[in-house]
Structure 1
Amino acid sequence: MSELVLESATRQLARLRSGEISVVELAEAHIRQIERLNPAINALVDFDAERVRLQARALDETTNAIGPLHGLPVTVKSSIATAGYLCEIGSTINRGSVAREDAAVVARLRAAGALILGTTNCPEFLMAYETDNLLHGRTSNPWDLGRSPGGSSGGESAAIAAGMSAGGLGSDSGGSVRLPAHFTGICALKPTPGRVPGRGHLPPCVGPFSVLGAIGPMARTIADVSLLFETLSGQDAIDPVSAPIGFRRLDPVSLREKTIGYFEEDGRVGVTEETRMAIRDSVRVLRDAGFRMEPFRPRTLELLRQLWWKFFVQCGAMFYEPAIRGKHDQLSPIFREFLSFAEKAGPLSATELLNAWAELDLLRSRMLEEMESHPILLCPVASIPAFRHGERSWRIGESQVDYLDAVRHTQWFNVLAAPAVVVPVGRSPEGLPIGVQIVARPYEDELALGVAVVLDEAFGYRPPPMATNID
């Protein structure tokens, strides 16, 4: 039964529907995998095997209509309110905080029949690309326990990569589902904000974060990510950024009429040779599949990145100031590091914030105009594969690349409010996963997923060795 946990979510659901296995049996397989691996990885921070068993029995015994995710074992990032589970956002300031009601997207998970295994670790207040905090400690990458699974949805990605969960939910304001997917060799979608309801995420996706931030599905295959997106997307009538757009099925012929622009780096920060090779291999596969592939790099990338810094770093620190005032001695080193970045930049004045807000719309318009000729983009997720815990600079060729520069590739598309998908393609010399990023224009999430399916079928998920070494 243990091999079950490494199968795709769609395959697990097929077994459930055929009666080959019960929900209880599938739940027990995941419980065993969690009990075996979570002590070393530290991905789940609120997990109770008996609570999972009670859910599984109830799902097996239900006489209600069967939902599309009936019995599927999933996890949820601990910043997304899940009733009855810890929702501490990785901070000792919130120690013991339990969600009283479900976020809108978690309510949809339950309505679809998903079995919630527990909630997963994140960096304090989500403001880091490494998952570590004083409350629950450090999460490790199942490919190498000495390395990070990324952040801020690092606990979620590690759980899914190691077969402790069939899929789940993360959130992304600067790459927080995409970088962990890249680091751990799974798939993820940062959707257009509002297509998956953001209501119930902590902190709330408001102000500039209503553009930057989104809750996104994570899983081992693009088919699984697409299933989660189809099931969970749709307008939330009381969310002001949620558009009345449902899931749209694509015509494969019309998809191939879109020109895909690709680039290996942004011209400012280098990437590893293996990262370049992942892009080249992806171009080859997509061209062979009938796509028009052209070298193309938007001119507005650096301007978008500078604007992301103002909103994510400077505004982010300003948002958190009331909550942390007088409590700096309780903050984790990783969050204090974020505050030091913000302190160097300084707070934004009212005039600077107003100008930045206007520039946001102007730059998005310029970028969308550039993408008229290339409505889909293919590019790296980061300059490097998974880094060692606490590592903050790397040598790439003749250049030294620092922490936030190495992960700039995701930030552009948060400012654009664009959907972006990550799929594993390559490997580093150490055998670490390397993903690529497929980006579409806002509200064209299905285009990015449609392209990603082709790459997933050619490359795709492989389990880390520790996930398959069953005693």
Structure 2
Amino acid sequence: MSELVLASAARQLEALRAGRVSVAELAEAHIRQIERLNPVLNAIVDFDAERVRAQARVLDAADRADGAMGLLHGLPVTIKSSISTAGYLCEIGSTINRGDVAKEDAEVVSRLRAAGALILGTTNCPEFLMAYETDNLLHGRTNNPWDLERSPGGSSGGESAAIAACMSAAGLGSDSGGSVRLPAHFTGICSLKPTPGRVPGRGHLPPCVGPFSILGAVGPMARTIEDVTLLFETLAGHDALDPASAPVPLLKPKLADLRERTIGYFEDDGLVPMTAETRRAIQDSVCALKDAGFRVETFRPRTLELLRELWWKFFVSCGATFYQPTIHGQESTLSPIFREFLGIARAEGDLSGADLLSGWAQLDLVRSRTLREMERYPVLLCPVASIPAFRHGERRWTVEGREVAYLDAVRHTQWFNVLAAPAAVVPVGRSAEGLPIGVQVVARPYEDEVALAVAGVLDEAFGYRHPPMAMKQTTS
């Protein structure tokens, strides 16, 4: 029974529907995996085994009573602790919010519950989500299941570690600068940053408002693209109370039609070097797509650095400004990782009203220029980062004989937050140390299903592998 936790979400759901396992039995297997691994990973920060068992009993009883089963009936999931989940801690990794419990569900959590998902708990994140490493003074750091001395990334690092280690079948993170994609890359799982609004963002803390209504999105994370797609299709849909949400129906792209489009790929942005294994992952992906009948050509948008400059202005400068009322008078309680973010923002100087207005106008113009370039290349293939998972606290690396700084090494996700484009990550390669390396598949806004379909081809060719720690002591 314990081996079932190693299976994909889709296979776990098949076992539930076929009656080979009850919700309670599947929940118990995940409880054992969490109790075994969470003490060393520190991925799940609000977990109560009895609460999980109580949910499982309710779901099993409902199934026996009327036979009604939602699409995710009984599936054990986790949720990033910045997404309001009624009755669970929602502290966003900050001692300022110590003990805060969500009073109501975010819209996406309501949809998870309506689909029958079983909530295992909420997962760790860096303070106020402003880091690519998951560490805080409230719950401590989260470790990568491939190497405990390395980070699972951020800000959805707790979520990615839980899923990669098979403590959770799937879950939800959020992404304003790579926060579901970099952790997926670091831990060897799959994820999707959707077009903002396609998966409801209402109920995320902090709210996805102002520039973050363009940058930010709640996104599904799982071990396979099939599972990510299942979560996306279950949770996507118009939210009438969210101004960023558009009534866009689900697409059903056919691979035969997608093969008529040209995929553009690039190994780097011309500014920041990449590890040899990262380049190899892109090259291997190109070969796999060509073998599957796709047209793939070298192409790099000319607007990448403009997009990154805008991301910096809105995420870094505006992000720091947004938090000033919250942290005023409490600076001494802030974690080193959040102080680091504030230091980066302050080094840029204050953002004037004229700067903000000019940047906002430029945002639309640069997005339009990029989308024009993507008319010929409606799908892009590129790296997720210059490097695989870094060691806790590392901030500089030597790559191809050059020094690469912290925020430069992870710039590759930021472009597509500014573009408001969907971007999926799928594991493809391995570093010299055996660490996962993912690639990023990007589509045009509102064509999330296209990104997922192409990523699915790569997932079949490469895909998730279990970290050794996930498989030890799994046989009952």
Distance of 2:164 and 2:463 partners within structure 1: 12
Quick check: 1:188–1:218 contact (8 Å CA) kept in 2?
A: yes
Deviation, structure 1 residue 445: 0.4
2:97 alignment counterpart: 94
Q: CA RMSD in A?
A: 0.6
Deviation at 1:248, TM superposition (A): 1.5
User: Which residue of 179, 186, 190 maps to 1:187?
Assistant: 190
- Which residue of 1 is the match for residue 150 of structure 2? 147
1:2 shift after superposition = 1.6
1:205-253: CA deviation from partner (whole Å, max 9, x where unpaired): 0000000000000000000000000000000011111010122111221
Question: Are positions 1:108 and 2:111 aligned together?
Answer: yes
Q: 1:20 maps to which residue?
A: 20
Match of 1:39 in 2: 39
Range moving further from structure 2, 188-197 or 249-258: 249-258
Equivalent residues in 2 for 1:29-108, closer than 5 Å: 29-62=29-62, 63-64=65-66, 65-108=68-111
For 2:452, the equivalent position in structure 1 comes to: 449
CA distance, structure 1, for counterparts of residue 145 and residue 61 of structure 2: 35
Write the letter of the residue equivalent to 1:8. S
Match of 1:305 in 2: 308
2:439 counterpart SS class: strand
**Equivalent-residue separation in structure 2 for 1:108 and 1:294 (angstroms):** 39
Of the three residues 146, 150, 170, the one matched with 1:167 is 170
8 Å contact from structure 1 (residues 315, 347) kept in 2: no
Among residues 263, 266, 272, which one is paired with 1:260 in the alignment?
263
Residue 296 of structure 1 pairs with residue 299 of structure 2: yes
Cα distance in 2 between the residues matched to 1:294 and 1:430: 30
Alignment of 1:354-373 (within 5 A): 354-373=357-376
* 1:467 alignment partner in structure 2: 470
- 2 CA distance for matches of 1:301 and 1:453? 25
Other-structure match for 2:217: 214
Does the aligned pair in 2 maintain the 1:305–1:412 contact within 8 Å?
yes
Structure 1, unaligned runs of 5 or more: none
TM-superposed CA distance for 1:308, in Å, is: 0.2
SS in 2 for 1:450: helix
SS in 1 for 2:163: helix
**In structure 2, C-alpha distance between the alignment counterparts of 1:180 and 1:375, rounded to whole Å:** 25
Letter in 1 for 2:3: E
Instruction: Indicate the percent of aligned positions where both proteins have the same amino acid.
Output: 77
Kindly indicate whether the alpha-carbon contact (under 8 Å) linking 1:130 and 1:152 is maintained by their aligned counterparts in 2: yes
Give the Cα–Cα distance (whole angstroms) in 2 for the partners of residues 160 and 252 of structure 1: 28
Q: Report the TM-score, using the length of structure 2 for normalisation.
A: 0.99
Asked if 1:287 is matched to 2:290, the reply is: yes
> 2:241 — aligned with what?
238
Shift of 1:346: 1.4
Measured in 1, the distance between the counterparts of 2:309 and 2:2 equals 47
Paired with 2:148 and 2:89, the residues of 1 have a C-alpha distance of: 25
The one-letter amino acid paired with 2:50 is E
CA distance in 2, matches of 1:438, 1:332: 34
Q: Could you tell me which of 379, 393, 398 is aligned with 1:395?
A: 398
Question: Per-residue deviation at 1:373?
Answer: 0.4
SS in 2 for 1:118: strand
Residue identity opposite 1:61 in structure 2 = A
1:242-292 deviations in whole A, cap 9, x for unaligned?
010122111221111110000000000011000000000000000010100
- The separation in 2 between residues aligned to 1:380 and 1:411, in whole angstroms, is 12
For residue 202 of structure 2, what is the aligned residue in structure 1? 199
- Structure 1 residue 397, shift from structure 2 partner: 1.4
> Matched residue of 2:120: which SS?
strand
- Deviation readout 1:64-104 (Å, 9 max, x if unpaired): 52100000000000000000000000000000000000000
SS in 2 for 1:352: helix
Alignment of 1:383-462 (within 5 A): 383-462=386-465
Q: For 2:279 and 2:371, how far apart are their aligned partners in 1?
A: 25
What's the offset of the Cα at 1:23?
Answer: 0.3
- Deviation per residue, 1:330-370 (Å, 9 max, x gap): 00000000000000001210000000000000000000001
SS in 1 for 2:397: strand
Task: State the secondary structure of the residue aligned to 2:287.
Answer: helix
The one-character-per-residue Cα deviations of 1:155-207 (angstroms, maximum 9, x if unpaired) are 00000000000000000000000000000000000000000000000000000
Distance (whole Å) between structure 2 residues aligned to residue 251 and residue 301 of structure 1: 29
Distance 1:346 1:194 in 2: 31
Check conservation: 1:120, 1:156, Cα contact below 8 A: yes
- The number of residue pairs the alignment matches comes to 471
Q: 245-254 or 395-404, which moves further after superposition?
A: 245-254
Structure 2 CA distance, aligned partners of 1:130 and 1:342? Answer: 17
The SS at the match of 1:306 is helix
**Aligned mates of 1:237, 1:67 — CA distance in 2:** 22
2:349 to 346, 361, 365: 346
Counterpart for residue 9 of structure 1: 9
Distance 1:407 1:221 in 2: 23
Aligned-partner residue type, residue 133 of structure 1: N
Residue of structure 2 in register with 1:177 after alignment: 180
SS in structure 1 opposite 2:88?
coil
Amino acid at match of 2:203: G
Which AA in structure 2 matches 1:106? Answer: V
**CA distance in structure 2 between the partners assigned to 1:452 and 1:198 by the alignment:** 23
